[in-house]
Amino acid sequence: MSARRSKGIYLKNYPQGLPAADQFEQRETDLAPIGDGEMLLRTVWMSVDPYMRGRMRPDVQSYIPPFSLEEPLSGGAVSEVVESNIAGYQSGDYVVDFAGGWKDYSVSKGEQTQKVDPNLAPLSAYLGVLGMPGLTAWAGLTQILKPIEGDTLFVSGAAGAVGSLVCQLGKLKGCRVIGSAGSKAKCDWLEQEAGVDVALNYKDYANAAELTKALAEAAPNGVNCYFENVGGMHLEAALNCIAPGGRIALCGMIAVYNNKEPEPGPPNLVNLIGRGVLARGFIVSEYMDKAMEFAMEVAPLLGAGKIKFQESVYEGLDKAPEAFIGLFKGDNFGKAVVRVGSDRA
């Protein structure tokens, strides 16, 4: 019997600035038979996420190791168990595995793996609203911002996988919610489907001063809570409008991820002092012990139709680089996912 072949996406070199499609390539390799304590997974859905750009900087120390040029890229995936030598996992089970992305087959020891139920939600949702982005949104909102009824919540990147859930959970907690997104279609969805009070199309504003004016008009009493996904002029505008005692959850700054040189910080950081503002950066792994609490709150809301989500679906493993690059161009609406294989082999 011939060895099973696996296709994977590799980096040819580390990008400087915005990654280009020709810096990725697909290679095919043989998969060795699984050993004791291992299982073979077939990727059904894979995720692309902004944090992956940081893993393409081998000279920058981070909370997660850089990608190797000698191995396929990796990331979150929903996979079907093909063969298993691990107790508790059997052929036909579906799992989320955090090293299974960017390839059509992978071998797992089950150390970063969790079973999922395809009958409770679409499988792709376990990479978005019920997955790592969902936990990120919930943790930043409930553990850092801690909004109270009547607070004004501003969310940048509000139509993305994280931001859209922050907006909806904020509304359910009684906040006035202002979101920023990069197109009229995204802003319309935020207001009409996600229930956001005001959606600002940041492409309508040439600089931080113009965005500040629009944000101040939408939040006449100031911004109590700011969920930061973008950075740049969004952070500057938020600092101009932050209310005394405001809280900022620093989740991401996608606007600067591809900069070749460090960008100067906002000139108005001093506002943090006089207004007594809390600003805390975080990564989702800090809150993995809260995953069950998150699921118990969000899954019923999703099932009851009180939480909605959007996906940008790319078909085929070869589309993974396009999906990833689209994160930084504003091409994606909601969670970007790649369908690698069918739900059933």
State residue 2's pLDDT score. Answer: 53
Per-residue model confidence as pLDDT tens digits over 155-165: 999 999 999 99
Please name the residue ranges forming H helices in the chain: 51-54, 132-139, 161-172, 184-192, 208-218, 233-241, 271-274, 291-303, 320-326
Residue 272 exposed, middle or buried by CB count within 10 Å (0-12, 13-18, 19+): middle
The domain made up of 132-286 is a member of CATH 3.40.50.300: no
- Cβ(114)–Cβ(20) under 8 Å? no
Question: Which residue spans of the chain are classified as CATH 3.40.50.720?
Answer: 132-286
Residue with tokens 């997974």: 41
State residue 4's pLDDT score. Answer: 83
CA angle (272, 278, 281) in 5-degree steps: 110
State residue 344's pLDDT score. Answer: 63
CA gap 173, 44 in Å, rounded: 35
Q: What is the DSSP letter of 30?
A: E
Report the SS3 class of residue 177.
strand
- Cβ(91)–Cβ(84) under 8 Å? yes
Question: Which residue spans of the chain are classified as CATH 3.90.180.10?
Answer: 4-128+310-339
pLDDT tens for the 345 residues of the chain, in order: 456 899 999 999 999 999 999 999 999 999 989 999 999 999 999 999 999 999 999 988 777 889 999 999 999 999 999 999 999 999 999 999 988 899 999 999 998 899 999 998 999 999 999 999 999 999 999 999 999 999 999 999 999 999 999 999 999 999 999 999 999 999 999 999 999 999 999 999 999 999 999 999 999 999 999 999 999 999 999 999 999 999 999 999 999 999 888 888 899 999 999 999 999 999 999 999 999 999 999 999 999 999 999 999 999 999 999 999 999 998 899 999 999 998 764
Which CATH fold topology does 4-128+310-339 show?
Quinone Oxidoreductase; Chain A, domain 1 (3.90.180)
